[in-house]
Amino acid sequence: MVNHSQKCATGSDPHGQSWKMDSVRVHLFTIVWIWIASPHICSGSSNSSFWGKKATLVRPPCHWQLSNQCVVPELEELSVCVTIQREIHTSEWTAFDYKQRGQIKTELGLVGSERQLTVWLFKVEHKVNLTESLTLHHWHTFCLTWSAKSKQLRLYVNASRLAELPTDGSRLAGNGMLTLGVSHSMLGGVMDYETGKELMGNATLFRMWGRELGEDELTDLRCVDGDVVSWTKRHWDPDCQPVPDSSLICEWTKYKIDMNVSIKSKPVVTGMLKAIVQKWFEDTFHSNVSVHGIFISSTSSSRWLQGTGDDFGEQVKERRVSSNERTEKRYACLVYVEVMPKADVLAVQEEVQKRLTLQYDHGGVVVKAHPASINVISIEAFPNVTERPSSTADPPTLSTSPTTAELPICPSVSSSVTIENPDECNPDYSDEFRQDTFYRVHLNASINVTVIKSADIIKNWLNVKLNPQSMTVLNFEMNPDLHKYGCTFQVQANSLNISETTHLIYSLLTEAYITDAMSIQALPGHINISHIAPGSCPDHLQQTLYGLYDWPRTEPEDRATLLCEKNSRDQATRSCKLDGMTDKAMWKRPDLSLCKRTVDDITDLDKVNVTANNSGEIVDMIGSLVGNGTDLSDSQLDTVLDKLDDVVSVSPVPPGLAGNIVEIISNVLHSKADLASFTNKILRLTDSVGDTMNFDGEAHNITAPSLALQLVTINSNHFQGLTFGVSSFTNNNSPEIFMNKTFVEKPQGAVAAISLPVVLENFFPRNNTATPRIQFQFYDSAVLFKNPSDTMKLNSYVVSASMTNVNVSNLQQPIIITLRHLNRVQNQDQPILCVYWDFTKSNGGGWESQGCKTESTDGFQTTCHCDHLTHFGVLLDVSKAEISTEDEEILTIISYLGCGLSSIFLGVTLVTYLAFEKLRQDYPSKILINLSLALLGLNLVFLLNSWFASFGSRGVCVSVAAIQHFFVLASFMWMGLEALHMYFALVKVFNTYVPSYILKFCVLGWGIPAVIIILILAIDRDVYGSSLDGETQDPLKDSSPFCWVQNETAFYVSVMSFILLVLLCNITVFGVVLVQIRRMQANKPTSNTSGLLHDLRVVASLTFLLGLTWILPFFSWGPVHTPFMYLFSILNSLQGFFIFIFHCLMKENVQKQWRIHLCCGPLRPGDYSEWSRSMTGAVRGGHSRLVHFPSVKSEDTSSIRKISDSSTSGVSQINA
């Protein structure tokens, strides 16, 4: 990093030795680059650590405040932890108090009382009640976390979350004052401590991080120092010294050692310096401390033990060193180490400081650390790049693998030893050996005008300034979160002099660049430059579809070129690029566009040998050849599985490669190949992937369409059972899985689940070297598992569990497997069998039931108990099924088509009766309109029900189910009212006036269903829902999502009993009406043929009008079940269509209205006026508002004539 906010001034040169001034400037610049450019947060080395010590805050008063050397920056996220011990009871006490300078209210703080904590953030207080009192003389840890993204302030007490509070602030104010154990204020620039709320006790380990830590991280990092405020002497200014406390033990393994070292040796290059330090640490600490990364940079010029000052000036100028001279140089050294076994942080700090201050002498090399510079810091994890970044950046990232280089000592010139790599001992920096160097730059630009395309303007400015100096801008990105014109990029420079190049970049970018339109430059205090060492892209032997290519080692931003394997006249190229995220050299995908394929199909894979180096490329090749839906022959499938098995066998599988293999297996499951003979091979391959995969953490999962894999590393000391399941799954999509680290006997809402009991721990390996691993698998593909017979079919998904390298069987407590049926089991007498896949069964494996039993089952899921681990499923005896799967699919199609057709013609019927006023003058027509409206609503909601259910919204599904229920009840209610009107007209014959006749019918027809729905929702709205919700199953549920009544009691009471009651009444009225009509026609002469047709029309009309076809399911038993269900689906789904036929299309007055209003010419009736007048007069007669029921004995009444003589349907013609 370069930070020129501080400048070094030099005096005059009285002796005229200008070369000395130049050399001083060079060396001062080197020092500034490494040490003066410190960040504006509290980081850096300190002389003493406070770990294992406490701040004693009891009387006499001892005040602790943040040191002036520690400046808290503005933070958009943070975490703060402090541990306190109360010695004296007070009504209120303060843990810490952070305020902006000149402000009265607290920006961030924590105050406590007997039963309550008060948290301050952004000058707003939040009260939180304690669940239990904080006992005296005990240590208690309090942590606060917050981020601007989540806008949630979380409070933790003793590693448990106590509260989560919403906040409105965007960032913590910086450069404030912080006191420990007491609140404060500033009066006239003097710190004034408030009395009355001090902490009468002790405090320790106050730390602040510049990021939001999770609950687990707070626990895991309890022994790691903060990166904003740490528990060190550098960051605190106490009135009294901390007191050691032997109870404050905190053990940790990972440390960063920052120090200045002196190395006296013959001239060496940087790679040798690292080896020297590596050897120094190995000999000093032996096996209990392992080095995980070393960074060394020069802090000052060399002090030559031989030679003159003039020689020194010339050597600085030419950068050439003689190999027979010895030098002593100081270096800034950063070493990452791991201490095994873990030890107390304070003990490690003291031991490291003691050992490193001793002089180390080996083979003519003398190494010693400066005692005051040694700073040992506990860190969270080891970084992973190989060069030290600027001090304002994140911690340096170094390789996580220990360095093992031996100490290289360069012999003198007179030595007879042969040097294998003479350039290491005599580096030559002449132009012909120059290489590029790379830098990471962060800057905030200043532009004197407002611009729109700021990224293009800034990038163009960088190219104009840097390109003429043989520098290239790489991976440019804007960073507007930090500054309006903030950006970051990398620079490739054709120079080896890092210091000079850094200074040159700084000078070029901080110099104003002025054009006619604007002026632009980097803000001097806001530019950070750090040298990065990306390394090289390594040698890589790559197997591709276009041949085998051995890419040579290539420098970053360079390109390797090879001849195509099949067509050698053309070339294959591959670029080595500097990665914009990791600052490392990385190979890009090769450009093989000019090359011809050497592997054209799967059979060519037999020519390819699988090795640990090319396994990833082999999997990529197979993935490109095996797509979803690929038609694979048996030989091709065998080749694919064999190659994948070879990949798994040659080396451990990383997670990315494992995911690609699982994706290929998923494609195979969806291919058109016959998988029955490859079941064992596929299952064993999936098991091997899980057994050999390396992954970080306790668990890892991989999902692909129709396949899921969950791996769990078990802590044998805390095993409480394990539950795995799939919560939701739709065809050709990846399943959604869940895992519970306990034994769940009845998993809720699972498509498939398996629960492992605690007794499984008896099979865990007894030695500590092997960690038990359990893997779960989920399969959707039924074609993978062949059915044992034509009558027994797999009726569930397949789920499995296994333990790596252990055969688990004969468990005393059973494994519980819960599997949802693929197809609803309507006949409870159908045998359901819990089975597992037996690999040893003849002909490539098969289903076996020994060791498994069916614990419980219903129409929708089965629970199995088994005493071993393997692949489990549920078989169904389809020979006794009442309706086959094929019939069920056909019935579904018929229902949807019929309902759609009925909806159209019900709409036509409604439009007809509502458009032509003369058609809706009588009561039967008005009843017909309401019935058609109810049936139309029923059909439309039915058609859209599954679509709404697929949203997965509970509220939407409840609403749709309630509306569906309402229209079902309303439809049957109006069918019953239609029957009631017929009964009044033809049976209970009397002349009387019924006021508001249709209004009363509407109140009954629409009101009663509405009251029923409201009562159900008021009592329990969970009565409604999707058929895939919860565990409750009822007679109308299906395996596909459908919003309907989910409670069995509510279904039978509010649906079945209601429908049955209406149907019984309608059947009774139907019989009575037919008898009455027959009596009225008894004396009327007519031919047998016309009378029979007339009677059939009347019967059909009444049947559909009264909904009598809904009675069919009550008689669909035994052998007639399937035929009756077809009749039921056809007739009821077409009920609206038949109502249109009989009560609209075949009605004479409807036909006439159509001709009058829709036809012209000869089709228009000639007697329109006379017919219209007669109809109008009849309607407007004095008795139009009476319900007039003439005597049955009066055979010349209009009502009877309209029933007996109408060619359509007499019932709809009955009027008042």
Handedness of CA 315, 318, 324, 328 (dihedral sign): positive
Q: Which helix (H) or strand (E) holds 866?
A: strand 861-866
Average pLDDT across the chain, whole number? 79
pLDDT of the residue at 461: 92
> pLDDT at residue 1102 above 70?
yes
**Average of per-residue pLDDT across 219-227:** 87
pLDDT of the residue at 1040: 61
Per residue in 41-76, pLDDT (tens digit) is 444 444 478 888 888 887 667 888 888 777 788 888
With cut-offs at 50, 70 and 90, classify the pLDDT of residue 83: very high
**Average of per-residue pLDDT across 153-171:** 88
- Judge whether 67 and 220 are in contact, CB under 8 Å: no
Q: What percent of the chain has pLDDT over 90?
A: 28
pLDDT of the residue at 616: 86
> pLDDT at residue 89 above 60?
yes
Handedness of CA 1157, 1160, 1165, 1168 (dihedral sign): positive
pLDDT of the residue at 304: 29
**Average of per-residue pLDDT across 903-925:** 90
> pLDDT at residue 441 above 90?
yes
The tokens for 660 are 């690609």
d(CA 618, CA 624): 10
d(CA 1070, CA 976): 11
> pLDDT at residue 940 above 90?
yes
**Which of 1031, 1033, 1059 minimizes the C-alpha distance to 1046?**
1033
Neighbours of 873 (CB within 10 A): 26
Most confident of 178-192, 647-661, 663-677: 647-661
- Judge whether 78 and 98 are in contact, CB under 8 Å: no
d(CA 477, CA 474): 9
d(CA 1032, CA 956): 19
pLDDT of the residue at 800: 94
> pLDDT at residue 27 above 60?
no
Max distance between CA atoms of the chain, in angstroms, equals 149
With cut-offs at 50, 70 and 90, classify the pLDDT of residue 1187: very low
Instruction: List the alpha helices (DSSP H) in 454-538.
Output: 454-466, 498-510
Q: Which residues contact 759 (CB under 8 A, 6 or more apart)?
A: 811, 812, 813
With cut-offs at 50, 70 and 90, classify the pLDDT of residue 385: very low
**Average of per-residue pLDDT across 444-457:** 86
Per residue in 785-811, pLDDT (tens digit) is 877 776 788 889 999 999 988 889 999
Treating both helix axes as pointing N-terminal to C-terminal, what angle do 1121-1133 and 885-915 enclose, rounded to 10 degrees? 20
With cut-offs at 50, 70 and 90, classify the pLDDT of residue 1096: confident
> pLDDT at residue 568 above 80?
yes
- Judge whether 177 and 184 are in contact, CB under 8 Å: yes
Q: Which residues contact 727 (CB under 8 A, 6 or more apart)?
A: 736, 737, 738, 749, 750, 751
Per residue in 616-659, pLDDT (tens digit) is 888 988 888 887 667 788 888 889 999 999 999 988 899 999 99
pLDDT of the residue at 1166: 59
pLDDT of the residue at 935: 95
3-state SS class at 37: coil
> pLDDT at residue 424 above 50?
no
With cut-offs at 50, 70 and 90, classify the pLDDT of residue 159: confident
> pLDDT at residue 975 above 70?
yes
Per residue in 748-784, pLDDT (tens digit) is 878 899 999 999 988 888 766 678 899 999 998 777 8
Q: Which helix (H) or strand (E) holds 650?
A: helix 634-650
> pLDDT at residue 1024 above 50?
yes
d(CA 446, CA 443): 10
Pairing of strands 547-551, 540-544: antiparallel
> pLDDT at residue 1149 above 90?
no
Distances in Å between the alpha carbon of 811 and those of 528, 687, 806, 867?
63, 21, 13, 5
Of 413-417, 609-613, 1108-1112, minimum mean pLDDT range? 413-417
Distances in Å between the alpha carbon of 724 and those of 540, 701, 857, 862, 911?
40, 11, 20, 16, 56
Q: Which residues contact 593 (CB under 8 A, 6 or more apart)?
A: none
pLDDT of the residue at 189: 65
Per residue in 105-115, pLDDT (tens digit) is 889 999 998 88
- Give the residue with greater pLDDT, 27 vs 56: 56
d(CA 787, CA 800): 18
Q: What percent of the chain has pLDDT over 70?
A: 80
Treating both helix axes as pointing N-terminal to C-terminal, what angle do 18-31 and 498-510 enclose, rounded to 10 degrees? 90
Q: Which residues contact 118 (CB under 8 A, 6 or more apart)?
A: 110, 111, 112, 125, 126, 127, 128
- Judge whether 612 and 650 are in contact, CB under 8 Å: yes
> pLDDT at residue 973 above 90?
yes
pLDDT of the residue at 910: 93
- Judge whether 679 and 737 are in contact, CB under 8 Å: no
Q: What's the full length of the chain, in residues?
A: 1216
Of 186-190, 504-508, 1151-1155, 1204-1208, minimum mean pLDDT range? 1204-1208
d(CA 159, CA 1206): 86
Distance of CA 825 to the CA centre of its chain: 35
pLDDT of the residue at 952: 81
pLDDT of the residue at 389: 39
Beta bridge partners of 87: none
CA dihedral 885, 890, 896, 902 (to 10 degrees): -140
pLDDT of the residue at 1029: 53
d(CA 1055, CA 969): 7
**Which of 712, 738, 740 minimizes the C-alpha distance to 802?**
712
- Give the residue with greater pLDDT, 628 vs 397: 628
- Give the residue with greater pLDDT, 765 vs 581: 581
pLDDT of the residue at 879: 59
**Which of 152, 126, 125 minimizes the C-alpha distance to 214?**
152
Q: 């528990």: which residue's tokens? A: 231
Q: Which residues contact 425 (CB under 8 A, 6 or more apart)?
A: 266, 267, 268, 323, 410, 411, 419
**Average of per-residue pLDDT across 1080-1087:** 63
Q: 């070029």: which residue's tokens? A: 508
pLDDT of the residue at 990: 55
> pLDDT at residue 728 above 60?
yes
> pLDDT at residue 187 above 70?
no
d(CA 663, CA 1125): 42
